Amino acid sequence: MSKALFMIYGVVSYSIFFLTFLYLIGFLNNAVVPKGIDTGTPGSMGVALVVNVLLYALFGIQHSVMARPAFKERWTQIVPKPIERSTYTLLSSLILILLFWQWRPMPTYIWHVEAELLRAVLTGLCLVGFLIVLYATFLIDHFDLFGLRQVFLHMRGTAYTHKKFATPSLYRMIRHPIYLGWMIAFWATPDMTVGHLMFAALGTAYMLIAIPIEEKDLAEFHGEEYKRWRESTPMIVPFTKGG
């Protein structure tokens, strides 16, 4: 595959990711997009529970397994290194699209806020969560994280180099601002249904399981500098003890 095709592949993969990210905002808020988290005719609660858990599990397994260094080492014997991250991004996006499509609604309310001001505040807080996610990715190099830097460097004939360990802005206060942003986005809603609660709970559980696994890999890669930062910086909640 030529350098130009790698670049096109990376740009297409990134574009699909970004559209999926935007769709997720509408999906969680049951707004703008054709199918929201509570859209559709409810069916069997048992079937919905099984299908939704399996969809989330598929995303979690792919997202975690493909991110592990041991998997990458074997995977890049099949997929060229310049498009490894783009492929990871693309597959994650496609699984999320599958989740949007096949998600079974469970629309019974846990809470439903009627006051317009409070509804606006909660919806705004959800959007703030998404903005935190996006901002935090730019702090650690958004385009490297989603594969565009890799294909761009390959296009220029420049060898890829890993980003040096740094703790800009939010990363001086907490270790995982991206996960904090996701948690805010998942839980801040004026209309918490059983289905939305399930999505938020599964997402939060996945992140809490993923954190120690990711941190182990990062500690091995970055060494003592990372370990010292991990010990002194709170995990998700600012101004608490590290750990």
Tokens representing residue 239 in the block: 């101004």
Contact predicate 22/28, CB 8 Å: no
Please tell me the distance from the alpha carbon of residue 185 to that of residue 182, in angstroms, as a whole number: 5
**139 closest CA partner among 108, 163, 103:** 163
List Cα–Cα distances, 145 to 19, 26, 85, 121, 174, in angstroms: 16, 23, 7, 31, 19
Q: What is the pLDDT of residues 126-163, one digit of tens each?
A: 999 999 999 999 999 999 999 999 999 999 999 999 98
Does residue 44 carry a pLDDT above 90?
A: yes
Q: In this predicted model, what pLDDT tens digit does every residue of 102-129 receive, in sequence order? A: 999 999 999 999 999 999 999 999 999 9
Q: For the stretch 29-57, what's the b/e string if a residue is b when 16 or more beta carbons lie within 10 angstroms of its beta carbon?
A: bbeebebbbbeeeeeeeeebeebbeebbe
Look at residue 2 in the predicted model and tell me its pLDDT: 84
Residue 240 is predicted with a pLDDT of 84
Amino acid residing at 27: F
Mean pLDDT confidence for 9-22? 98
Query: To the nearest whole percent, how much of the chain has pLDDT over 70?
Result: 99
Which residue is associated with the tokens 């998404």?
A: 130
Is 242 a residue whose pLDDT tops 80?
no
Distance of CA 208 to the CA centre of its chain: 13
Give the per-residue pLDDT at 55.
Answer: 97
Mean pLDDT of 31-43: 96
Count the Cβ atoms, other than its own, within 10 Å of residue 238.
12
User: What's the pLDDT tens digit per position in 169-225?
Assistant: 999 999 999 999 999 999 999 999 999 999 999 999 999 999 999 999 999 999 999
What does the DSSP 8-state code read for residue 154? H
CA dist., res. 236 & res. 207, Å (int) = 11
